[in-house]
Every structure is written in C-alpha cells, then in structure tokens.
Amino acid sequence: MNDAATVTTTSDAQLLGEVLRHALDGIAVVETSDGIMKVAYGNATLAALLRRSEEWVAGHRLEDVEVEAPADPNLTNAGVGSRVRLKRVDGTLVDCERWAVMLSGGRMVLYYRPVPRNSPGALAAALERSSGVSTEEQLLEMLVRDWSIGQRDGRSVTLMHFEIDSWADYLEIFGRGASDNVLRQVGRTIASVMKRASDVVARSGQGGFLVLGVSMEADAALHFADQIVSRIRSLSIHHPRSVTGKFLTVSAGVVTAKPPRGATHATMLGATQVAVGEATASGGNRAIRGEI
C-alpha cells in the first residue's frame, strides 16, 4: 500500500483511481486534522454499501459514515477481522470486516468487506460482491414489505427486471473476471439512473438485475427503464456474439401497479419476468411494460 500511496503523486494517479473505484471492497481514504477524521475519498463499492452517492461519502466525518466509530482514533489495533457496522441512507445496517493501512501525513486507507451471510451475526442485506449492489434476497424482503403497504394505503409499487442480452455467450468468451467487471458497470449504471433513496437495485440470477421503487408513475418508470437501456448500450462494451449488434445491451420488463388485495408479491415478479421475456424475444435492447 505504501507503493500505491507513492503512485498517487505520479502520472499514474488516474489509473490508480480507476482501480480503487472498481475494487470489490469498500475503500475510504481518511485524513485527520485537529483530531477530526474526515473521508477524503470513498470508492463506488463503499458508496453502494452505504446506498449513497460517491460525492456524498467524501468530505464527511468518519463517525457520520460509521455507526460504530473506532475506539482507537489512530486505528493502531485495526486489522483483519475488526468489525464495524455501516449505516445506510434508509437506516438499515450492514456488518463489515475492516482493516486499515496507515499512510504518512495523518492519512490512512480503510478497507470494508461485508461479512459473509453465513457468518454469525451477518445481515441478509450484505453487498452483492460481483456487481456492487444489493442482494436479491434483500430486495425481495423489501418488496414483500412495500407490497403489503401498497395493499393497505393504495401506494403504487414498481418492479423492473433487466437481463443482459446474450449473457451466457459473453461469460463463455471472456470468463468470470471480465464478466464480473461488466456486472459492476451495469449495476452502477442502473443505480446512476435510479437515484431516489427509496430505490433498490439488486442482482438477480446470472446476468440479471432487479429494481424496486415505490410511488412512481407507470410512464416515469418506463422512461427510467428506457434511459437505463440506452445508457448501458452507450457504455460500448464489446460483445462479439450479441444479438443486438457489436456492443453489450440489456432487455427490461417494467411493471407498475397498486397491489391488488388477495394477490401476493409473486404476481408482480411473474409479470416482470414475462415482460422481460417479451423484450428479449422482440430482439433485445429494449424495455417493455408488463401488466398484472
């Protein structure tokens, strides 16, 4: 890490920044001034853990980012296995392992790694490590909750299902490492459009993503889905076996409805799966509105 710190003063700083930004672990560079620890930099995975924007993370005091501020302000005892608990924008918590590397000039680098879900005390809301977004398990828990509230209060629920076109072919050609990097790019592109604090983005299956939103108009939901489809195409990720052209694309199914009494959240899940299947069968690289 000392070598990495040296690189930041060279012409390779931009390259190092990209490496840190796409790291699977949450990374924060912290600076101490007058006894106050502030986050100078937080990468995209840390922002995803907190469900915040990368811009929000930087500049905040460390205790504003963490529920449990370190007892040792110099983190001299921090290491692998040191547990912290991060607080998300919606108030939920995620348990992490953290270790720290001290740098010169009152700076240090903190690495946050979500505790595996099968570990004692781990939360089901752990980060989906390959894409930097939430787990399908957590999204479905929130869908059940929002579905119940919608049945009671008449509030609309939106569910989007995105599938990467010809994903099995991409995985076969480029392998797991490159494919995981693509999943992170796609997940972050989706999250860059769905910016509301109540929106949840999660992985689903091999090359799929789900988006959950509440109190959204049907036309607005379809517009967001169309925007995501367009932005992912604009990433210009080369896909030699894509059925939609030479670049990687996604298909989407979008359902917005006020949950009818007597129906379960599975009704909405099924409707989005039918809609995304229609989008794929129609040639891909498009979003189709489904109905319950």
What is the predicted pLDDT for the residue at 275?
98
Which domains can be identified in the chain, with CATH numbers?
2-114 (3.30.450.20), 136-289 (3.30.70.270)
According to DSSP, residue 105 is labeled T
**Cα–Cα nearest to 85, from 99, 71, 98, 72:** 98
What is the predicted pLDDT for the residue at 5?
40
| Residue in the block written with tokens 């489904």 | 290
What is the predicted pLDDT for the residue at 116?
56
Name residues of the chain where pLDDT drops below 50: 1-11, 69, 71, 117-127, 129-130
What is the predicted pLDDT for the residue at 11?
46
Report, in this order, helix, strand and coil percent for the chain, each rounded to 5: 35, 25, 35
Dmax (CA) of the chain: 63
| Residue in the block written with tokens 């879900």 | 117
What is the predicted pLDDT for the residue at 6?
40
pLDDT per position as a tens digit, 192-239? 899 887 888 999 988 999 999 999 999 999 999 999 999 999 999 999
In the chain, the N- to C-terminal Cα span, in Å, equals: 53
